[in-house]
Amino acid sequence: MIDKITQISSLSPTRDLKELVETSSLNGSVSPGENTGMNFASVLGGMATDTMNSLKVAEAKSFEGIQGTASTREVVDAVLQAQQSLNAAIALRDKIVNAYLEITKMPI
């Protein structure tokens, strides 16, 4: 079910993020003030991927619970993990949107 949702490009959280990470990592030259560690786009991409994976695991565990192959505890743990990941992603999105709105309110 989640795979079908992520195939819709307007709803996919990482539809262009992979290309952004690849193009930013292709720059071989490092300027003096540039940090050579992880960049913001790769961190966000990793978080989005982890969130989607936890949602997929929770969905699979739910189906296993319905079929009777997974215990109730496993299903609840997977769903709570997915809920926590989704809440963190939503909170991060809200912070980014608020920061963008604050920037747009600044006088030029």
Pair 2, 56: CB distance under 8 Å: yes
- 21-56 per-position pLDDT tens digit: 454 445 555 565 565 677 888 888 888 999 999 999
* Rounded CA Rg of the chain: 18
Per-residue confidence (pLDDT) for residue 10, from 0 to 100: 45
Q: What torsion, rounded to 10 degrees, do the Cα atoms 69, 72, 75, 81 define?
A: -150
Examine the pLDDT at 85 and tell me if it is beyond 90. yes
pLDDT-above-90 percentage for the chain: 52
CA distances from 48 to 9, 55, 72 (A): 15, 11, 27
Higher-confidence position of 72 and 8: 72
